[in-house]
Amino acid sequence: MDEAEVEGNGSEAALKLIPLGGLGEIGLNMMVVEYGDSIIVIDCGLMFPDEHMLGIDIAIPDISYLIENREKVKAFIITHGHEDHVGALPFVLPEINAPIYATTLTIGLIEAKLTEHGLLGSTVFETVRPRDVVSVGPFEVEFIRVSHSIVDGCGLAITTPAGVVVHTGDFKFDQTPVDGEVLDYARFSEYGERGVLALMSDSTNVEKEGYTISEKEVGLRIDTVFGRCEGRIILATFSSNIHRIQQVFDAAVKHGRKVILNGRSMVANSAIARTLGYLSASDGLIVEMSELSKLPPDRVVLLTTGSQGEPMSALTRMAVDSHKQIKVQPGDTIILSSKFIPGNERAISTMMNHLYRRGAEVIYEKVSEIHVSGHASREELKIMINMVKPKYFIPVHGEYRHLVLHARLARQVGVEHENAMVAEDGDIVEFNGAGAGITGRVESGRIFIDGKGVGDVGSLVIKDRMHLSKDGMVLAVVVLNMTTGDVTSGPDIISRGFVLEEEGAELIERAKFEVVEALKELGPEACTEGSEVKSTVKRVLRKLFNKELQRRPVILPIVIEV
């Protein structure tokens, strides 16, 4: 059914799916499910900045629609504990204070995050287990176990008055998971037999043919590397990948090494997982950093954060020899047990180059299969669609090309062409008596977090930062007598990131001369108007610098009135 047929048929009884993040990008996941006067929100994730978001710490979804309808929001339903699914909660909960439904480890990770922001006491948690069914307004939500690169991940079956909607969460079909907890084929298939209105499915690996390798295979490769290393081992991975951490612990025990945890999130997440029983370590296996100097190199493994080359991460500081406690040395083996997240390749390559300069051996995904994805590849995506047998299909969690390719894949396995719908952030996907389609849009986008500022850095500020980073800045300071309009001092011209003042001395002097001449032409009366003077200075300097150097620095005229 096309959009025009649905338009105008909206009613309060219509079921609406409204993505506020995650459809058109990797990360920022947030899906609104709305029926009548009730809303549940699936996931509440953040996005880490790309190279265009200069100075930005993180981005979160624009929740204007939720704020406008806050009285309708009944709950946050969280599929798992990755940052791109929970990281925005500390910034959203002050505006939308609704209960959070999630599994045990997911809640443990969220609680630690909310404690840092002083929000723990005001937040209501409802702990669930796979196959639990919770009633929230007109919705019944069943949590269904899936395999992923974090413990306690779940898909969702949401029974609504309009039909059943299945959301896979992030998943893959791991036949030999580390904890033995296999994806719940039975529940997905049972819903498929009953009849599913719509399936929302993870699109991350839709470009990857075949099947995703089991996490246990990584454990075997880690064990092999440990067996041949004679010096220290420094292994970097995501601190949320509890199964990966467990396999490092197991390999360390087998090869007689002690484990030292390094990095704030690695220490914190490991402690949470051990407390909740998701991570086991034999007595004496984990030792403090102070023990490092006392241990022989072949009897230690450092488990650390920083696999993405983050500027202030522990591994990056080791690479540039600025870590206070750990000095990389010849004979060390560095294992990067994670994928290169798009956008981070340059930072990771730079870090690896520094590690090689220190004499270390570096093992990473491109030279050794030391990491596997937590997301389903094409054959697994087909299996999920065939199990659930949805009438309508909506690809989620991916950039636009992923969504298009996933919709095509759904059509190949039997979903009717018009029923595989590619939606983007802000689209309203509506299901009513007339069928289904995209019936409109709500406000959506990204809110930038810069330090303690939430949303005060917008696209214009980012544009200015890019301008400054590309072309530099020129300050032109002029002191004016506001009675006579005479220039009593200056202009003084100061540049940063534009030209070296020593090498560009001739150009700077010429710039001063042309500013003075322009102000003379402006006349004494106009020179008593600060705005006129600023406009003239900016125009003269922009024209000069563009003509001489073909550069357009940010020009900031400063007029001091005396």
Residue 496's alpha-carbon distances to 54, 474, 554, in angstroms, are 17, 6, 10
d(CA 149, CA 546): 52
d(CA 102, CA 108): 10
| Stated length of the chain | 562
Residues near 303 by beta carbon (within 8 Å), at least 6 away in sequence:
235, 237, 245, 248, 259, 260, 261, 262, 266
Residues near 452 by beta carbon (within 8 Å), at least 6 away in sequence:
none
| Tokens read off for 525 | 């009366």
Select which of 43, 84, 174, 202 is catalytic. 202
| Tokens read off for 549 | 């150097």
Q: Are the beta carbons of 214 and 175 closer than 8 angstroms?
A: yes
d(CA 118, CA 288): 29
Residue 366's alpha-carbon distances to 148, 222, 241, 349, 369, in angstroms, are 21, 15, 20, 12, 7
Q: Mark whether 202 is an active-site residue.
A: yes
Q: Are the beta carbons of 171 and 152 closer than 8 angstroms?
A: no
* Amino acid identity, position 283: D
Q: Mark whether 417 is an active-site residue.
A: no
* Amino acid identity, position 399: E
Distance of CA 517 to the CA centre of its chain: 52
Select which of 80, 85, 375, 397 is catalytic. 375
Residues near 483 by beta carbon (within 8 Å), at least 6 away in sequence:
528
Q: DSSP state, 147?
A: B
d(CA 103, CA 3): 37
Residue 133's alpha-carbon distances to 97, 140, 534, in angstroms, are 22, 6, 66
Dihedral sign computed on CA atoms, order 501, 506, 507, 508: positive
d(CA 58, CA 66): 20
Burial pattern 130-141, b for ≥16 Cβ within 10 A else e, equals: beeebebbbbeb
Tell me the angle at which helices 378-388 and 185-194 cross, rounded to the nearest 10 degrees: 50
d(CA 516, CA 530): 15
Element (H, E) at 452: none
Q: Which residues pair with 399 in a beta bridge?
A: 24
* Other beta carbons less than 10 A from residue 531's beta carbon: 10
DSSP calls for 3-25: HHHHTT---TT-EEEEEEESEEB
Q: Which residues are catalytic?
A: 202, 375
